[in-house]
Amino acid sequence: RRLVPQSVRRAARRAPCCAAPSGGAGREGRAARRDGDDGKFGALAECARRAGVALSGAALGAALLLSAPQPACAFVERNPAQGVAAPLNAEESANVALFKRSTPSVVFVTNLTQRRDAYTMNVTEVPQGAGSGFVWDASGHIVTNYHVIKGASEVSVTLDDQSTYPAQVIGFDKDKDIAVLKIDGNGTLTPLPRGSSSMLQVGQKVFAIGNPFGLDHTLTTGIISGTGREIASGNTGRPISDIIQTDAAINPGNSGGPLLNSGGQLIGINTAIYSPSGANSGVGFALPVDTVTGIVDQLITFGKVTRPVLGISFAPDQAAAQLGVDGVLVLDAPSKGPAGRAGVRPTRRDRYGRLQLGDIVVQINGDTIKNAGDLYKTLDKLNPGQTVTLGVLRDSDELALSVTLDSS
């Protein structure tokens, strides 16, 4: 009765077949009541046929209520292999092992600077840059790029376990973009094993670990795309030679991080990328570890890098080319400097105001000097206090002068 709509029940009561039977008691009465009941149900069926939709909805509801519930697992697709990790191949296993082994040696370097609030005039320290670095030795020396800490009033270093330490700047080399920091790691520091960059080959697999865009410890892989590249220092403009080129993804924040070989050995420091947009474009550059080692040792020992000084100032290459000069045109050679003591003549004007070109450096110890880059690269191979033979052009004569180099 509950499942039959009220409109259907009203229609059944109004139907003639729904009138109470007039039969008496006994068998006839029971038969009459049966006939009456049959009539009622017949009338209900007829009314339900006319009601149509209402009874169909009621019947559907009754079927759903009265039907036995089905197990929920009948609608779930069983997959016996779900949640089982696929096995790693040999190369993937080696990559994972290298990352886990090297990550404790890679750090996050934050550059803090002081800013004064314009309203309260209070001085606060705020981050102005960040980069990567790595543990050089167990004494707490950290190596990174100079441009990562440039202009910092304070530097902090965050280790793999998220512990942060204030760092002391031991020294830096602007020309090669290298800086050495020192922290108190309480004996928990793990230095990176160092390899060699002298025998690197194009096509060799490399790994870069760092904190690109501030993300924690990211590993990218690639190959060595070229060796012996030369780029200009972003700090001084001086050329940096023997640079490693790689297609491993190097993005902002990777600067100062290590470039590793397949054995997890340090072969370079990620320092620059070639990209019009500032993001990785597949051309990254790393300082070779053989160059880095000598500079870092000097910074740890002396706090600065000592380089040989020739004691001249010279014209830019573009200006020399406009004057038709093939070599390095000397503009000034202080009399107390190495070149001045050796008799190198600077550029000057005569009493009539006419320009007299100075000596043109064309050779050092037999190495040809055609521009400023050649001069810097040749001096990098020499030592302070060393005496060299300087080949110069003076007017139309070629002279050989003996010069003892000073220390920077």
Question: For the chain, how far is it from start to end, CA to CA, in angstroms?
Answer: 108
Residue with tokens 């003892």: 404
> What is the b/e burial string over 145-164, where b = at least 16 CB atoms within 10 angstroms of the residue's CB?
bbbbbbebeebbbbbbeeee
Q: Is 177 part of the annotated catalytic residue set?
A: yes
Residue 3's contacts (CB-CB under 8 Å, 6 or more residues apart) are 58, 59, 61, 62
| SS3 assignment for 273-311 | ECCCCCCCCCCEEEEEHHHHHHHHHHHHHHCCCCCEECC
Considering the candidates 173, 175, 177, 247, report the single residue annotated as catalytic. Answer: 177
> Does 141 participate in catalysis according to the annotation?
no
Name the region of 228 (left: φ>0; alpha: ψ -120 to 50; beta: rest): left
Element (H, E) at 148: helix 146-149
Q: Do 251 and 213 contact (CB within 8 A), yes or no?
A: yes
Cβ–Cβ under 8 Å, residues 158 and 185: no
| Residue 125 to residue 128: CA distance in whole angstroms | 9
Closest CA to 178 of 134, 229, 138, 113: 134
Say which residues have a Cβ less than 8 Å from residue 35's Cβ, sequence separation at least 6: 21
- Say if residues 267 and 289 touch (Cβ distance below 8 Å): yes
The single-letter DSSP state of residue 212 is: G
Q: Which of 156, 255, 359, 374 is catalytic?
A: 255
Residue entry with tokens 């209402």: 54
Report which of 401, 181, 192 is spatially closest to residue 299, judged by C-alpha positions: 181
Residues tagged active-site: 147, 177, 255
